[in-house]
Amino acid sequence: MSTIKEQLIAGLNTDLANEYQAIITYITYGATVTGIYREEMKEFFMREVPDELRHAEYLANKIAALGGTPTTTPVAVPPASDLKQMLLNVHRAEEETIARYLERRHQAEQLGDFGLVNDLEEIISDETKHKESIEMILRGL
């Protein structure tokens, strides 16, 4: 039976593996996107990278501060052969990411780590903006 703190550390490591996935996904899709919108879409994907990098760095530091070991293994990037598939994949990833952070926020609250609660809320704001900008693009496709 693991403690709330151990469950939180395990959850933060899942989040970190997914932030690493997000970084690799956006770089890979930016590199491989083709078609008439290539230039804009490459820029769009690459614009997300600094946020995800900041989230990953934050999580690695927090996991270490809590006494855990930050994972070095990213979740696998889903393949995509065209722009629409890329956008659908990153939209789903952002949605699932927000759900995971809401669960993490609840665990942080249970543990009484309100600094983490506050930091997670900022990250949730970033991911919500990512999700909404992807939705605006998908709406016009």
C-beta of 3 vs 132, nearer to Fe ion:
132
Half-sphere exposure of 5 (CA within 13 A, CB side): 9
Q: Which region among 34-42, 78-86, 100-108, 120-128 touches Fe ion (by CB under 5 A)? A: 120-128
Contact string (CB under 5 A) for Fe ion, positions 73-92, x = contact: --------------------
Q: Which region among 13-21, 31-39, 99-107, 109-117 touches Fe ion (by CB under 5 A)? A: 13-21
Q: Is 52 in the site for Fe ion (CB under 5 A)?
A: yes
Q: Which region among 45-53, 61-69, 81-89, 111-119 touches Fe ion (by CB under 5 A)? A: 45-53
Q: Which residues, 6 or more positions from 66, have their beta carbon under 8 angstroms from its beta carbon?
A: 5, 8, 9, 12
Tokens of 6: 């151990």
State the Cα–Cα distance between residues 18 and 73, nearest whole angstrom: 9
Question: Which of 9, 20, 41, 55 lies at the binding interface for Fe ion (CB under 5 A)?
Answer: 55
Report the site for Fe ion in 121-140 (rule: CB under 5 A).
Answer: 127, 130
Q: How many residues bind Fe ion (CB under 5 A)?
A: 5
Q: Which residues contact Fe ion by CB under 5 A?
A: 19, 52, 55, 127, 130
